[in-house]
Amino acid sequence: MTHIELPQGWIVNPNCQTATHVVDLKIPQKQSSNYLRCKRWQDANPERKKEIANAWYQKNKEKVNQQRQEKRKQDPERYRKDARDRYRENAERYCEAERQRRKENPEKGREYARQYRKNNPEKYKEAQRKQRQKFNAKTAEYKLAHGCIDCGYKGNAVALHFDHVNGDKVKEVCKFTTWDAALKEIAKCVVRCANCHAIKTYENKQFRGWRKKLENTNGKI
Ligand SMILES: [Zn+2]
């Protein structure tokens, strides 16, 4: 077979194995009138289009799912990336759907959570640790922003306490796990430093053990 050198701008057309001018290859494929008619109808009836597509999916569910699984197996990394991207784009919608499902079937959700904790103890521990860190940071920020109500101390969040002054105490603020749940309890509290808290508690005669001790020893312990 002899090699024929083609002039610039010409190549061998892969479809018919003949020399073709490159510009001719770039001609877009003409869309059939049938295709255009279908598209026009689909654009005009988006709801009906969805309905038909869904009905077709329900009918061929197994086949479609099998095809999807095969695709997933071929390139699992890419599939994971796509799934992540999709989730990030619609995070709010996914979370809302999950909340709804849990509301409708709370026992199933609890069972799933139990199983997850059992199967992934390390992951669960790590998630819990992160949640606590986040919560502690939030409470510290709140305490430092307010400072002690009596003396105005703002030095270190460790030395600032939530002192219950209004309503019934359900439990200590630090026993909560999420900020939103703790907010109700925080509304009943003021921020007091450790010193002022101890003095106020003593003066309010709430700490009976210490008071008794001080009375019995004439103020010396
Ligand atoms: Zn103080």
The alpha carbon of 206 and the centre of ligand 1 are apart by a number of angstroms equal to: 18
In a domain, residue 187? The reply is yes
List per-residue pLDDT tens for the chain, 221 residues long: 445 566 665 666 655 556 555 555 554 556 677 777 777 888 888 888 888 888 888 888 898 889 888 888 988 898 889 889 999 999 999 999 988 988 999 999 899 889 999 999 999 999 999 999 999 999 999 999 999 999 999 999 999 999 988 888 888 888 888 888 899 899 999 999 999 998 888 887 655 666 566 666 665 55
Ligand 1 mean position, distance from CA 170 (Å): 24
Is residue 124 domain-resident? Answer: no
Within a domain: 130: no
3-state secondary structure the chain: CCCCCCCCCEEECCCCCCEEEHHHHCCCCCCCHHHHHHHHHHHHCHHHHHHHHHHHHHHCHHHHHHHHHHHHHHCHHHHHHHHHHHHHHCHHHHHHHHHHHHHHCHHHHHHHHHHHHHHCHHHHHHHHHHHHHHHHHHHHHHHHHHCCCCCCCCCCHHHEEEEECCCCCCCCHHHCCCHHHHHHHHCCEEEEEHHHHHHHHHHCCCCHHHHHHHHHCCCCC
Alpha carbon of 70 to ligand 1 centroid (Å):
66
* Rounded Cα gap, residues 99 and 111, in angstroms: 15
| Å from CA of 67 to ligand 1 middle | 67
Expressed in angstroms and rounded, the spacing between residue 164 Cα and the centre of ligand 1 is 15
| Residue 102 placed within a domain | no
What's the 32 CA to ligand 1 centre distance in angstroms?
A: 82
Cβ atoms 12, 18 nearer than 8 A:
yes
Q: How many structural domains comprise the chain?
A: 1
Domain membership of residue 161 (yes or no) is yes
Q: What is the pLDDT of residue 33?
A: 75
| 184 within domain boundaries | yes
Distance 147 CA to ligand 1 centre (A): 8
- Kindly report whether the global pTM for this prediction surpasses the value 0.85: no
Would you say residue 116 lies in a domain?
no
In the prediction, which pLDDT does 211 show? Answer: 59
Parent domain of 170: 140-208
Spatial distance between the Cα atoms of 59 and 151, rounded to a whole number of angstroms = 73
Residue 3 in any domain: the answer is no
Compute the distance from residue 183 Cα to the ligand 1 centre, in Å: 22
Dist CA 161 CA 208 (whole Å) = 20
